[in-house]
């Protein structure tokens, strides 16, 4: 499996008075990257939700090293280090165009149905389980 990192520029509205990207945006960038990761693996996010599966965030953390400014391009690499039947984590690394690590973080998730009850997707949605499992098996080798 070969994936492309999520890349875009910092928007003006994401910055503070000093022109620096506000820390809250990094968590949003994690979400954008997570959607990108799953879609790149061949599983459009809308398809998962249409089939009655959601993956809410249980926890999020971010370590900030260097700021981004308005107009900077950032590149996010993400992978799933471990994958269980009901829960998973995503690891994120956010780089500048020059390859310098600016931030890293993790989000934790579970699978639930539309009534927010836990779901064991290996039993109920084996095709979705297989894609998440492939992402996990590929680990950080996803990016060429």
Write the CA distances from 59 to 15, 115, 139, integer angstroms.
Answer: 24, 20, 21
The three-class DSSP label of residue 72 is coil
Residue range 114-132: average pLDDT?
Answer: 92
The three-class DSSP label of residue 139 is helix
Question: Per-domain residue ranges for the chain?
Answer: 6-142
Distance between CA atoms of residues 144 and 24, nearest Å? 29
Catalytic: which of 16, 113, 137, 140? 16
The three-class DSSP label of residue 74 is strand
What confidence score (pLDDT) does residue 143 get? 60
Instruction: Tell me the pTM.
Output: 0.90
What confidence score (pLDDT) does residue 45 get? 86
Is 140 a residue of the active site? no
Please check whether residue 105 is in contact with residue 31, taking contact to mean a CB–CB distance below 8 angstroms.
no
Angle at alpha carbon of residue 56, lines to 133 and 120, rounded to 5° = 45
Chain segment 23-76, per-residue pLDDT in tens: 999 999 999 999 999 998 889 989 999 999 999 999 999 999 999 999 999 999
Q: Tokens for 77, please give them.
A: 């690499």
**How many percent of the chain have pLDDT more than 70?**
95
What confidence score (pLDDT) does residue 137 get? 72
* CATH number for the segment(s) 6-142: 3.10.129.10
């Amino acid at each position: 499996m070969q994936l492309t990192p999520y890349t875009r520029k910092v928007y003006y509205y994401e910055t503070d008075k000093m022109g620096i990207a506000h820390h809250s945006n990094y968590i949003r960038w994690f979400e954008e990257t997570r959607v990108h990761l799953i879609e790149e693996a061949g599983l459009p996010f809308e398809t998962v939700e249409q089939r009655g599966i959601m993956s809410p965030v249980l926890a999020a953390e971010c370590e900030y090293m260097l700021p981004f400014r308005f107009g900077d391009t950032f590149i996010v690499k993400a992978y799933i280090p471990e994958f269980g039947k009901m829960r998973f984590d995503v690891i994120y690394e956010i780089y500048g165009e020059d390859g310098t690590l600016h931030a890293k973080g993790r989000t934790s998730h579970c699978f639930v149905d539309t009534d927010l009850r836990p779901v064991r997707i290996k039993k109920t949605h084996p095709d979705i389980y297989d894609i998440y499992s492939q992402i996990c098996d590929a680990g950080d080798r996803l990016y060429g």
